[in-house]
Structure 1
Amino acid sequence: MTYQPVYRGASSVEVMTFERLREMNDGGTQRADFHVLALVDDGDGRVTVDFVSHSLTARTAVWISPGAVHRWDDIARLTGHLVLFVPTAPVTHRTRELVASPDLVARWPIPAEDWPFVDAARGHLVLEAAALAEDASTELPDILLSALLTRVEPPHAQARSANPTFQLFRSSVEAHFRTHHDAGYYARALGFAPRTLTRAVQQVTGRTAKAYIVDRIVLEAKRLLAHERVTAAHCARELGFPDPSNFSLFFRNATGMRPGAWQAATVLD
């Protein structure tokens, strides 16, 4: 299954229904280069995002960031919409920062008191996106997308964006985790004492800076192994390890399994 035929239109924002998704879905995995925000009106189902299965019920939101491996497992009874948009689509500073986060929560319930506002923002976007589907000159869908993102902001996004040290660290890790694996590099590059950096990361995530880096590398390795079906040697090259055996030991220490065994045990397609 691929979103590409629906997404690659004139606009940087596309909207589709779960009914349309059901027509396209073949039960396989997807790794898109754009964001997918799903809003469930009613029904129940499941989606797997980066190897974690999430239940879907009425008034829940799903956010799938670019690069995340995901699969729609059970969508037969779901109603609602999916909003597909490029990372540069939001027009406000706050929503641009929000979509730039590499570790947004994948699924969360929208409080009953917030749902009318989310529903209204989504309805306006749906209406305008349909009317302006062939007009690439207008920014109106991007503006309405930003309004919707502000209403559905994931529960941990505000706390994370409020910590500037962690924000800088997170962005630096996302840019360099394939070549730099040690926390000391990021402390030096950002001009922080190692203790200051670790304290900021622990305050936001509950993990050390080193653990955060390890988790990011392991996630990318799993994405490559599961979706791209590459070898451990290919992963080692992609992720900056000097040789496959070094990567294999790193992966086993982090997950308890060697890359090949984890890949064989993980059935996504």
Structure 2
Amino acid sequence: MVETGHVTAISHMTYQPVGHGTAAVETMTFDRLRELNDGGTQRADFHVLAVVDAGHGHVTVDFLRHPLRKRCAVWIAPGAVHRWDDIAGVTGHVVLFVPTAPVTHATRELVASPDLVARWSVPDTDWPFVDAARNHLLLEASAPPAETPTELPEILLSALITRLRPPHGEAHSTNPTFRLFRSSVEAHYREHHDAGYYARALGYAPRTLSRAVQQVTGRTAKAYIGDRLVLEAKRLLAHDRLTAAACAGALGFPDASNFSVFFRKATGMRPGAWQATTAVA
């Protein structure tokens, strides 16, 4: 179960499993999700992994709308702003888990990635293995709490993630320079907007760093940092309903005017005008 304050206006969701006080993994059906969901914008502090058996609908993750179709998967990382739409006919299961739940090195590394793929189709050849892994996790999650907690749910979650094989994106780059840069940006983008800071902190020449980032993403290091700032600004404006001044303070800009110029240059809209387009009833 997820603590939301009240069911009819889901906004910020905190991981609080029902019946398994310390459980790191919880499962629910889409029927249960529909009971909790009011179609509003949500932001969680845990991972949401959905496996769709059948039906049609949509999920919007960080302002990108994705179709829900038979045998597709959805992964929503902590902090991502998301909304479920038109899911009345969707069947399948949703797995909620804390970032530390996976037990294998590969799945822990994947879960820690800041740029997870939000939606993908599961190939027919993979589906029997995904279905078996999912059903084993569901069976274990339904078992009465053991006197001595085990890692079985976490192990089975890792098996499901492995069988789902999320498509590789930037997060899976083997370029060590980019991986260090990406991790550093994720940790410090609120305080440091200058690519030169990351070059100095990581011990690279600015050109070397930007070349590595461009090889992986097609963008310069400066553009990558800017994109990360824009994403977080959109999250704060859409979900937290912060003012431009509050966003400026949260993201390390000297004042609201400076932030507004940055945001308008990146999106073509002033922060307040963009926020108005995301308003929900």
Normalised by the length of structure 1, the TM-score is 0.95
1:195-232 residue CA offsets vs partner (Å, 9 max, x unmatched): 22222222222211111110110110000000111100
2:156 is aligned, of 119, 122, 144, to: 144
TM-score (norm 2): 0.91
* 1:34–1:85 CA contact under 8 A, matched in 2: yes
Correspondence 1:72 to 2:84: yes
Deviations 1:137-177 (A, max 9, x none): 11110111111111123211487242222211111111000
Structure 1 residues 158 and 265 mapped into 2: Cα distance closer, same or farther (>3 Å)?
closer
Distance 1:15 1:261 in 2: 38
Residue 110 of structure 2: which of 98, 108, 124 is its match? 98
Which residue of the other structure, out of 31, 40, 47, is the alignment partner of 1:28?
40
Contact 1:160 1:166 in 2 (8 A): no
Written as runs of structure 1 = structure 2, the 5 A alignment for 1:43-192 is: 43-133=55-145, 137-157=149-169, 160-192=172-204
Task: Give the drift of 1:89.
Answer: 0.5
Letter in 2 for 1:106: A
The answer to whether structure 1 residue 216 and structure 2 residue 225 are counterparts is: no
Runs of 4+ in 1 over 6 A off after TM superposition: none
Rate the CA distance shift 1:188–1:47 in 2: closer, same or farther, 3 A. Answer: same
What SS does the corresponding residue of 1:39 show, helix, strand or coil? Answer: strand
Sort the Cα spacing of 1:230 and 1:242 in 2 relative to 1 into closer, same or farther, 3 A: same
Q: Distance in 2 between matches of 1:158 and 1:244?
A: 32
CA 1:225–1:109 in structure 2 vs 1: closer, same or farther (change >3 Å)? same
Larger deviation, residues 198-207 vs 2-11: 2-11
* Contact 1:98/1:157 (<8 A) preserved: no
Unaligned runs of 5+ in 1: none
Alignment check: 8 A CA contact 1:16 1:83 kept: yes
The size of the alignment, in residue pairs, is 269
After superposing the two structures, state which structure 1 stretch, 122-131 or 152-161, moved more.
152-161
Unaligned runs of 5+ in 2: 1-9
How big is each residue's C-alpha offset from its partner over 1:12-35, in whole Å with a ceiling of 9 and x where there is no partner?
000001011011111111100000
Deviation at 1:181, TM superposition (A): 0.4
